[in-house]
Amino acid sequence: MIQVTIRIALFYCLIFVCCGPMQKDNKTSNEVIKSRTTEIKQSVQQDSNYNFEIPSETFVLDRNLSEISSLAYSNEDNTFITNNDESGHIFILDPNSFKIISREKFAKRGDYESIEKIGDDIIVCKNTGKLYFYNETSKETTTYNTELSAKNDVEGLCYEKSSNSLLLACKGHPLAKTDSKKNEKCIYKFDLEQKKLISEPFLSISDSELKSYVASTFANKSKSKLKKLKNKVKYFSPSGIAIHPVSGDYFLISAKGSLLVIIGKNKVLKEIAFLNNKTNPQPEGICFDKKNNLYISTEGKGFSGKIFKFNYNG
């Protein structure tokens, strides 16, 4: 009888151990899974949609583009457009091979650093901030001066459809002559309706902001590696700018340091990607195609110029 009682007691204990706590564990397990799923989703949202370490494809350019200084994409005919620094020519490139389809002379020789296409106009910007509107139909060029100069050193140009304006990225000094802005790089707007530059910076990026991001994001790196990364962002000078077609983020490349800085549409620093400076020694052109793939061009630095394609994984 005692043995039967013990067996019954053990049976109920076993039920309690297996059923009661198991239900609690299941609930806890579900909560953990749900929490982890949320973390993963957040992580995916914070991560970039591109693998900046390994390009999807690399294109070696014609020797006429060994000093390629800009890059733009035309949605209308699915071609790429560029210029070769001082030649005064616009080059149209095949979207698959990146071979030169045609070229047009838009102005005499000069230091031309950036390019964009809007409708029938191909717009080229000189380092002085002077804008050249070359009309593909009339084959004529109209110019517009801005308050910017060689001291501001304009190197990036892109079209912002929402405000119908051009964004001009300067790697030199800001327009404002104050000590508080001497360590800032500025982007200005050129209103296409009024054909006028807005003197107040649209975006300002400070050295301290970039250094703080590196310090917090790469805290697990060795002291020497961390110092190296900080030195790279210290010399950040935008040489190209493009707006992401989906997120609206601002993508800025810098030839100095071979890096890419991504600013959210809320104008807050979102990400810094360090490019391979051996294969990408002087990135100066950046754009997106209709499938949101990213393209970055680099000067040859004694070799052939190249364009790197980074597939969109969004």
Predicted pLDDT at 15: 39
**Secondary structure element (H or E) that encloses residue 183, with its range:** none
Distance, CA of 181 to CA of 175 (rounded, Å):
9
Domain ranges for the chain: 1-47, 48-310
* 61-65, 179-183, 199-203, 281-285: least confident range: 179-183
* Nearest in space to 66 (alpha carbons), one of 260, 265, 306: 306
Sign (positive or negative) of CA dihedral 177, 197, 271, 59: negative
Place 44 in a pLDDT band, splitting at 50, 70 and 90. Answer: very low
Tell me the pTM: 0.83
pLDDT one-digit tens code per residue, 173-222: 999 876 556 689 999 999 999 999 999 999 999 999 999 999 999 999 99
Choices 3.30.365.10, 3.90.420.10, 2.60.40.60, 2.120.10.30: CATH for 48-310 = 2.120.10.30
Distance, CA of 204 to CA of 211 (rounded, Å):
15
pLDDT one-digit tens code per residue, 236-272: 999 999 999 999 999 999 999 999 999 999 999 999 9
Distance, CA of 111 to CA of 287 (rounded, Å):
20
Distance, CA of 183 to CA of 175 (rounded, Å):
13
pLDDT one-digit tens code per residue, 126-139: 999 999 999 999 99
Instruction: Supply 175's token pair.
Output: 């327009």
